[in-house]
Structure 1
Amino acid sequence: LLTLGSCGQNFYATMPSNIQALTGSCLVIPCSFTSPQVGSNPVGIWRINHYWYGTNVFTGSQPAANWSGLKVTILGDLKLRNCTTLLEWIGPDNQGVFYFRIEDTYLYQRNPFRYSSPNRPLLTPGGPVMEGMVTSLNCTAPLPCPNQPPSLMWSEALNGTVLWTVLTGINGSLSVSSLLTFTASYRDHQKNITCTAWYPVGSENRSTAASVTLSIWFPPTNTTARLSPTGDIKDGDQVALICNSSANPAANYTWFRANGAAISPAGSGQTLTLTAVTPGDSGRYYCQAENQFGEDNSSVTTLDSLNSERCFYVSKTSLCVCVCVCVCARPLLTKKRNIHQL
């Protein structure tokens, strides 16, 4: 965390308000300052823990100095009011609040900052989008060390394209951005997409990641109707017709019954329950799923009445023969009756 402050009038230093780094890596601190004038020999000083009584980490009398293994180099030209500084070989012993000063015949200024490990990448979705629209996800991660940029990897490319860029903030801080552009599909709804930032540190890589769940608006699709239970259904049994469809937002369901060319509403809701079937319930049934983006019909499910007495059969494509035998008790006579094939 970088906290800005200044001493003296008419002097002000500008650095990022937040700055992050990885142990074992490097860190560039964008830094500039304003002043009425700069002397011929300005001196830049970095201290830790206190701007006046703290331990010197670097002084302008040395082009680079080491403190607890930390290498500090002022990259900017102080005469041009540029105090940009490079920290290398950052170690766990370097934790603390750092202060930067400029000393000249009359110029004095300080600004403290504290560095920490990079946070997770910033993953910005565009919110719910309509199926078929071109949309994008943007993943941004800090770039503390320009010589060792992180790699941004997507868990899935979604048949899209990826554009990688380096961004410079208004305060001079650097970040890397990966823009994933794709066409929204209902198949991607509720997918969990992860962006991982891999930072090279020496011979290893360290990672941090962020995830987002996609939300796609789309009309009903893959609508199906089924009947439970299947198989032989007897007069008086309870039967449930169940409709399923993929849709976002969720679909509303309407059932229809077809007798010949006539089609009539049979009910509403995802499940249509016939509490006690009768031969009059036989027919072809289908459901319609609908939301504000469209509608979709299921295929037909047929409830066949096999005779007028006891037997029903549910079928989508096949026909069934049901034979009932009645025996009349007469002397020396047995009569059989065949029920017609449907």
Structure 2
Amino acid sequence: MRLTMESDFINTIVWILLILLPEALGQQWSFSFPQSIQALKGSCVEIPCSYTRPRTLRPPKVTWYLEGRKDYYTVFDSHDRGEALDTYRSRTKLVLNTINSCTLHISNVRSDDEGSYIPEVDNRDAYDLNGATVRITVIDTPSTINLQGPAVMMEGIPVAIRCSVEHTCGSDPPTLRWNKRQYLPRTEQQHVSEGRWEAISEITYSPTYEDDETEIQCSATYPNGQTSHKAAPLNIIYPPKNITVLIRQKEIQEEDDVTLSCFSKSKLEINGYQWFKGVEKIRLSDIDQEITVRNVSWLTEPYSCSALNSQGMGESALTLIPVQYAPKEVLIVKYEREDGGVVLKCNFSSSRPNVTQFTWLRNDVPIINQTAANITLENVKENAGEYRCIAHNKVGNSSSDEQVAIQFKGTTSIDLPAVLGSTAAVIGLVLIILIIYCCISTRKKKSHTDTIFGTIPVPSMAEAPPTKMADHVYDTLTEGKYHATTDSQSSTSPLNVSSRKSKAPREGDEDSHYYAADDKAQEEPEDINYAAIRFDQSNEASREDGRTEHTVYAILKN
């Protein structure tokens, strides 16, 4: 019995020791943190730290110190925040991300934050245990972004592109963004080493030929607002694109020969071409880049082509050859009106280029001022007849195949514009004739009967006796030159004395004057058409009997 009791006691002690041994072994003091770490200026940094301590029910007191030249300065105290330096008090905190964590977070890193830091738990610091410190180095530029993806991409085949960057602030990593906003990124963060993390963003990109030789870019934005970028060119291969049929001639008419060329956009070498005709795409035997279509017509079918490279084949759209031709299938459509009139419309099936004008003919005589597609005919007899239309364009013209007969039994119409025009023309002609006649009459009158104007002082009856009025002899002067003389003078004046007198001179009258035609009437007339012949009688007898000087006026005929 006694042996049994002792055996039970020993077993109990062993079991107690087995239970308490692991805890006893784990109660030793220890610290774990990196020896050095980088911090981005203006951003944040986290110094990873963990510890072990003897079992206790008291919460741990965690303190961090900055090693100075002569002393240690408190930068964080979990029990008394006021113990920390003013420059750290609002910028430091404890990151409790694991059990027994003593990780220190410093925000808005400054240049003077650089130095050696020492953690302490319950008045037991790491330096005292093993002389360890962690060195913070402040940097001005962030780490380089790493951009990973295939060097060559094929159109339509999705690929994964990854953007990553290392940092030292695990609780506040940088934000990663792409320039391809249409793709939803997958983000994560991985722990790289003590005090270093990696922010990761990945997209699944679908390559297109439009993106070839463009850039894909990833940017990182840090808590301080600072950004960094990394870009890489996209190398995308694809089948031929933008395939078009090029027509070399600018103006093509019927029966011309036309050269067609197949052009495409391709990064890779074109291995071959194929040509097709018509909407049904009948395959032709031609495999060259150019073909010649001979003797084209306005009914020529469309053509298309395809180009082939190592990535596939691309095909063009149907291309019509722009053959220019005169209007086709011209015909007249007749519309009856309620008032008995008729509207004729000149139709055509096709025209290239567009129709510019129309010509209407009645009984094969063109109708003036009718160039529109429609013509309206009133119910009058004059509008009856055979009608035909001609459609014109830049290339030529085409006439309607059949004439349309129009029968009207209405009243005869009066073409008011024509009547007014004719009347105006007649009036204008009459006015012109009258003007010409007046001009001719005026010129003749001036030429043959120009009047010489002068003043004839005629004595009144009181001043001179009636017998004195016959002192001067007047007669009609005919063609020729004229001369004057007196009885008392010899015939030396320009006028010769004529043997003809109207009256015999009175006795006692002096200087009786005679007028006669020049004996040399056959001589050509002088240029002077107007003359005034004045005679001065200055003798006393003439003044006494009241006679005054007189001027002779005559009509001179050329």
TM band (smaller chain): 0.5 to 0.7
TM-score, normalised on structure 2? 0.38
Secondary structure (helix, strand or coil) at the match of 2:38 reads coil
- Specify which of 254, 270, 288 is matched with residue 252 of structure 1: 270
Over 3 Å counting, the alpha-carbon distance change for 1:219 and 1:299 in structure 2 is same
Contact 2:94/2:104 (8 A) holds in 1: yes
How do residues 231-310 of structure 1 correspond to structure 2 at under 5 angstroms? 231-232=251-252, 241=261, 243-245=263-265, 247=266, 249-252=267-270, 254-255=272-273, 263-265=284-286, 267=288, 287-299=305-317
Residues 1:90 and 2:109 aligned together: yes
Contact 1:73/1:85 (8 A) holds in 2: yes
How do residues 32-181 of structure 1 correspond to structure 2 at under 5 angstroms? 46-47=66-67, 65-66=84-85, 84-94=103-113, 96=114, 98-100=115-117, 102-104=126-128, 107-110=130-133, 112-116=135-139, 117-158=141-182, 160-181=183-204
Kindly name which structure, 1 or 2, has the bigger radius of gyration based on alpha carbons.
2
Q: Determine the structure 1 residue equivalent to 2:231.
A: 211
Which AA in structure 1 matches 2:46?
A: V
Which AA in structure 2 matches 1:168?
A: H
Secondary structure (helix, strand or coil) at the match of 2:194 reads coil
Over 3 Å counting, the alpha-carbon distance change for 1:170 and 1:200 in structure 2 is closer
Q: Determine the structure 2 residue equivalent to 1:309.
A: none
Structure 2 unmatched ranges of 5 or more:
1-30, 52-60, 119-125, 325-349, 354-395, 397-558
State the structure with bigger RCO (CA 8 A, min sep 6), 1 or 2.
1
**Matches of 1:190 and 1:16, distance apart in 2:** 45
Residues 1:221 and 2:241 aligned together: yes
**Matches of 1:223 and 1:290, distance apart in 2:** 11
Deviation at 1:301, TM superposition (A): 5.3
Secondary structure (helix, strand or coil) at the match of 1:104 reads helix
**Matches of 2:287 and 2:40, distance apart in 1:** 66
Contact 1:255/1:286 (8 A) holds in 2: no
Residues 1:194 and 2:211 aligned together: no
Deviation at 1:111, TM superposition (A): 5.3
**Matches of 2:107 and 2:322, distance apart in 1:** 81
**Matches of 2:105 and 2:172, distance apart in 1:** 13
Which AA in structure 1 matches 2:316?
A: S
Deviation at 1:28, TM superposition (A): 0.5
RMSD over aligned Cα atoms: 5.2
Contact 2:270/2:309 (8 A) holds in 1: yes
Secondary structure (helix, strand or coil) at the match of 1:153 reads strand
Q: Determine the structure 1 residue equivalent to 2:450.
A: none
**Matches of 1:100 and 1:93, distance apart in 2:** 13
TM-score, normalised on structure 1? 0.57
How do residues 327-342 of structure 1 correspond to structure 2 at under 5 angstroms? none
Deviation at 1:84, TM superposition (A): 4.0
Q: Between Structure 1 and Structure 2, which shows a larger proportion of helix residues?
A: 2
**Matches of 1:130 and 1:17, distance apart in 2:** 45
Aligned length in residues? 274
Which AA in structure 1 matches 2:233?
A: T
**Matches of 1:16 and 1:176, distance apart in 2:** 22
Structure 1 unmatched ranges of 5 or more:
1-11, 34-40, 307-317, 322-337
Deviation at 1:224, TM superposition (A): 1.7
Q: Between Structure 1 and Structure 2, which shows a larger proportion of strand residues?
A: 1
1:13-34: CA deviation from partner (whole Å, max 9, x where unpaired): 86397734241x421023579x
Which AA in structure 2 matches 1:218?
A: Y
Q: Determine the structure 1 residue equivalent to 2:393.
A: none
Contact 1:254/1:265 (8 A) holds in 2: no
Over 3 Å counting, the alpha-carbon distance change for 1:146 and 1:257 in structure 2 is closer
Over 3 Å counting, the alpha-carbon distance change for 1:118 and 1:32 in structure 2 is farther
**Matches of 2:274 and 2:75, distance apart in 1:** 85
Percent identity, please.
19
